[in-house]
């Protein structure tokens, strides 16, 4: 992958997250984005990238929480507050509304 493609992929991710800020349930969330299919193979590839991003950030938060004596739920809620568009988009697209938060809080 060229640097140009790498930067274009980043632009696509940012565009999708900006759209998700307005409405994470929008059926046109991935529509009309040039190169999305070529660089991600379609919306599923973008969602996998975003899920990977969330998982990486959550893993870092959990490590930090362990070092600071916080609970896993506190770390999760902190990340959710820091990245509301990403969280809302993943919940909307995967249909886990509030089930993850409830599971983490147990």
Q: Which pLDDT tens digits describe the chain residue by residue (106 residues)?
A: 799 999 999 999 999 999 999 999 999 999 999 999 999 999 999 999 999 999 999 999 999 999 999 999 999 999 999 999 999 999 999 875 455 555 555 5
CB 13 within 8 A of CB 45: no
Domain that residue 22 falls in: 3-105
| H-type alpha helices, 23-83 | 36-40, 43-68, 72-82
Return the pLDDT at 11.
98
CA distance 87 to 70: 21
Return the pLDDT at 86.
97
CA distance 9 to 49: 10
* Cβ within 8 Å of residue 21, ≥6 positions away: 84, 85
Q: Which two tokens stand for residue 45?
A: 């590839």
Q: How many structural domains compose the chain?
A: 1
- Per the listing, tokens 């696509």 go with 12
Instruction: Using alpha carbons, list the distances in angstroms from residue 91 to 34, 61, 64, 106.
Output: 25, 19, 24, 19
Instruction: Determine the Cα angle at 101 with ends 95 and 63, to 5°.
Output: 120
Return the pLDDT at 97.
45
């Amino acid at each position: 992958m060229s640097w140009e493609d790498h930067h274009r992929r980043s632009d696509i991710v940012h565009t999708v997250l900006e759209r998700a800020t307005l409405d994470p349930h929008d059926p046109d969330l991935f529509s009309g984005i040039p190169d999305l299919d070529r660089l991600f193979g379609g919306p599923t590839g973008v969602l996998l990238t975003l899920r990977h991003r969330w998982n990486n950030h959550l893993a870092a938060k959990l490590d930090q929480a362990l070092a600071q004596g916080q609970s896993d739920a506190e770390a999760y809620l902190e990340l959710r507050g820091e990245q509301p568009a990403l969280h809302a988009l993943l919940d909307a697209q995967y249909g886990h509304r509030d089930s993850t938060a409830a599971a983490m809080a147990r």
